[in-house]
Amino acid sequence: MASNQAARRAAKANRRKAIVAQKRRAESQAGSLAARAAAAAAMPIRACLINEGWQKTGMASVYLVRGASAQHVTVGMFLLDASCLGIKDVGFDSFHGDEFDAFLTAVEVAMPFAEVDPCYARKLIRDLAAWARSLGFAPHRDFAAVEKMFGDVRADDCAEVFQFGAQGTPVYIPGPTETPVQIRRRLERVAQIEGAEVAWPFDEDEGEVVDGEIVSEEVSAIAK
């Protein structure tokens, strides 16, 4: 009996140590990422891009490209859900210029990009993050670190007024990369938001996209 209790206490202590170690690793990585993004902010801006038509689809990909030369660039990437969730994902990476050009060319086959003023992109990202937070959806955990890449770009220099959701109404559209657990938690949160809606992009019985279109009548009306 005593040995079993000792074993349980030891196992519990080991779990606590593992959790603390994991938290410290995450904090260290976040600090390193923030430092690298801040360093990249000292480099000239080569491009700031956003996919065309994002206002209709509610989904936007923003790329901020900096580099001392066009041959080696650092890219901050932001995946935005302007319908409900806010800053869904961020990325930060370095490329040879031709590598990034090839990547962008491949992406543009399905999603053409337009160049925008960096202050427009920063205001869009910040306003969306604030709006989603007000709904209870925090931005991606690395958002604050990667956003440092904008450096001294002033969001206040952009006069654009952005509207999110469907005419201001949050519309949650479960994505193909979301896990069942994520979807359930987000549905629970959306249910607490007055007026918020859920748009299923797939047949709820089959769990698959139907010809790439939203199947519910309510969502079809929103899409139009």
What is the per-residue pLDDT across 208-218, written as a single tens digit (0 to 9) for each?
A: 443 333 333 44
9: confidence class by pLDDT, cuts 50, 70, 90: low
- 20 — pLDDT class (breaks 50, 70, 90): very low
Confidence of residue 200 (pLDDT cuts 50, 70, 90): confident
pTM: 0.76
Read off the pLDDT of residues 120-135 as tens digits, 9 standing for 90 and up. Answer: 999 999 999 999 999 9
Question: What are residue 66's DSSP bridge partners?
Answer: 45, 74
Domain ranges of the chain: 38-157, 171-223
* Banded pLDDT at 107 (limits 50, 70, 90): confident
b/e code 71-109 from CB counts within 10 Å (16+ = b):
eebbbbbbbbbbbbbbbbbbebeebeeeebeeebeeeee
Amino acid found at 193:
I
Q: Tens of pLDDT along 162-192?
A: 999 998 899 999 988 889 999 999 999 999 9
Pairing mode of beta strands 202-203, 86-96: unpaired
> In this predicted structure, which of 61-70, 82-91, 210-219 has the lowest mean pLDDT?
210-219
Task: Name the amino acid, one letter, at 55.
Answer: Q
Half-sphere exposure of 214 (CA within 13 A, CB side): 18
Banded pLDDT at 97 (limits 50, 70, 90): confident
Q: State CA 197 to chain mean position distance.
A: 20
